[in-house]
Amino acid sequence: MDVSQILVDFMKNKQIIIIFFVIVAVFLSVFFYNKNKTKIYYPTSGENIIFLGDSLVEGIGSSKDNDMVSVLSKRLNIDIINAGVKGDTTAKALDRLQADVLDKNPKVVLILLGGNDALRKIPIENTRKNLENIILQIKKTGATVILIGVKGSLLGNVYDDMFSELASELQVNYIDNIYKGFFFDSRYKYDSIHPNDAGYLKMVDRIEPVLRQVLDL
State pLDDT tens for residues 141-154: 999 999 999 864 45
Q: What interhelical angle do 162-170 and 124-140 show, nearest 10?
A: 30
User: How far, in Å, CA of 27 to CA of 12, rounded?
Assistant: 23
Phi-psi region of 61 (alpha: psi -120 to 50; beta: other; left: phi over 0): left
Q: Which domains are assigned to the chain? A: 48-215 (3.40.50.1110)
Sheet of 144-148: strand order equals: 80-84, 48-53, 106-112, 144-148, 173-175
Check residue 145 and give its pLDDT.
98
pTM of the predicted model as reported, rounded to 2 decimal places: 0.82
In the predicted model, is pLDDT for residue 20 greater than 60?
Answer: no
| Selected residue with higher pLDDT from 159 and 10 | 159
pLDDT range class, residue 34, cuts 50, 70, 90: very low
In the predicted model, is pLDDT for residue 91 greater than 90?
Answer: yes
User: How far, in Å, CA of 187 to CA of 183, rounded?
Assistant: 10
Mean pLDDT of 156-182: 87
- Report the range of poorest mean pLDDT among 28-42, 70-84, 202-216: 28-42
